Amino acid sequence: MTPAALDTLLLKLELAARLLDEAASDVRDAELAPVSAHIGRIGVALVQVFEIQQAIHALRPGLKPAHLSEPSPHPEANKQLMQFMVDATELERAGDTAGAIGKYRDFLGFDSTPHHRCIAEHEIERLSGKNES
């Protein structure tokens, strides 16, 4: 594959990833049942897109965005929030919305970054709206 073809492919994959991300939000906002299953399918597609992007970056390191090469400034907060999100998602899938909200509230009890707190607060808001339905 020519360098120009790889550039074009990478741009198409970036567009596909953005559209898939928007589609996941649309599924969530529309509450298209089963929401978790549909979002999970979109997540699988995103992972596959990312794997192709990584293969291109391996062939052409200069195409890799700088932000992907830099380590996260908050790796511990990322890991901690991810664990809470996994636990909350399992509770949500089991129909325990209140339990999922509780998980995020537990997270807010820890010292974390404003960005990570904002994510948890957004999830509480989303789940609270679902709980009222």
Average pLDDT over residues 70-85: 89
Amino acid, single-letter form, for residue 100: A
Contact 21, 28 (CB under 8 A): no
pLDDT of residue 67: 76
Residue 87 has pLDDT above 90, yes or no: yes
Average pLDDT over residues 18-30: 92
In 3-state terms the chain splits into helix, strand, coil percentages (rounded to 5) of: 85, 0, 15
Average pLDDT over residues 9-37: 92
Domain boundaries, the chain: 1-69, 71-133
pLDDT band at 72 (very low <50, low <70, confident <90, very high): confident
pLDDT of residue 100: 96
pLDDT of residue 27: 92
Provide the phi-psi class of 12: left if phi over 0, else alpha when psi is between -120 and 50, else beta. alpha
pLDDT band at 34 (very low <50, low <70, confident <90, very high): confident
More confident position, 56 or 44: 56
Residue 58 has pLDDT above 80, yes or no: yes
pLDDT band at 133 (very low <50, low <70, confident <90, very high): low
- The token duo for 105 is 């509230």
Q: Tell me the CB-side half-sphere exposure of residue 66, using CA atoms within 13 A.
A: 0
